[in-house]
Amino acid sequence: MRAVLTDLDGTLLEPDGSVCDEVLTVLTELREARVPVCPLTSKTAAELASIMGMLNLATPAGFENGAGVLLSDGTLELQPSAVPVADLVTLFARARRETGAPVRTILELRDDELSVFTGVLGGALSAARARQATLPLVAEGSWDDTLRAALVPSRPLRLIRGNKFLHLQGDHDKITVLPRLIELLNRKGGVTVACGDSPNDAQLLAWADVPIIVPGRDGPHPELARVVRHARVAPLPHGRGWAASVRHILNQADA
């Protein structure tokens, strides 16, 4: 195995942000086998740094849907296509006025509302709001196409659907940072495994040698399964499914 590239929320982590024992065990097995695990997430760099410490990972990782790379020494590298969050706020406010869309940003949610969406409590809420180049949105109903039509003429932007939020961002996604991650890993040969659970992970899974869809409680996301038809589906939801699938591949590599 060359590397395991993985989404976090609902994939390696449980929906409430916790980590199950099975994941911790497999992470130890990967560490002993010298297989790097690189998260690629919509989370902020501040959130990611905390999670990397919790999981005892010392690898580069992608934050805010490919807006940048968090290096193992804590340094941040932003992609040229990343749009500063202040600009995103201005562009979104204009689009909301034009469309009348009942959509709010993560910066406008009360603490209790944000906790419901993310499972995050207390001081971790400020880390979730510490956006550099993405603006998560909460939409009442499906306003994706309407907002896209109002936003796209402004400058190169994307509106990406995740499990919990719409993400307004520059012209980047999780695979944008892959060349830099692979360069930093400096590992030749072997298969690259990618794990994800939402349409936001589709391109990452399509890029990998071994794509794995991690299902939720109600099964795999239908849109993700439709787009990445050749992907394996983990046998269990969330972290336990991640652990079972990754361990199976690791055992095959060792055989």
What are the residue ranges spanned by the domains of the chain? Answer: 3-79+174-254, 85-170
Res 135: pLDDT: 96
Strand 232-233 relative to strand 210-213: parallel, antiparallel, unpaired?
A: parallel
Mean pLDDT of 33-62: 96
Mean pLDDT of 62-67: 97
Res 187: pLDDT: 85
pLDDT(64) > 80? yes
Mean pLDDT of 74-82: 95
Q: Hey, what are 229's tokens?
A: 């038809």
pLDDT(114) > 70? yes
- CATH class entry, domain 3-79+174-254: alpha beta
- Collect all residues with Cβ–Cβ distance below 8 Å to 153 and sequence separation of at least 6: none
Residue 74's pLDDT band (boundaries 50, 70, 90)?
very high
Range of weakest confidence among 66-75, 87-96, 147-156: 147-156
Query: Cα dihedral sign for 91, 92, 95, 97?
Result: negative
pLDDT(167) > 70? yes
Query: Average pLDDT of the chain?
Result: 93
Range of weakest confidence among 111-115, 116-120, 251-255: 251-255
Q: Could you tell me which CATH number the domain at 85-170 has?
A: 3.30.980.20
Q: How large is the C-alpha radius of gyration of the chain?
A: 18
pLDDT(77) > 90? yes
Q: CB of 224 within 8 A of CB of 4?
A: no
Give me the residue label for tokens 């906790």. Answer: 115
Res 25: pLDDT: 98
* 123: phi then psi, degrees, rounded to nearest 5: -65, -20
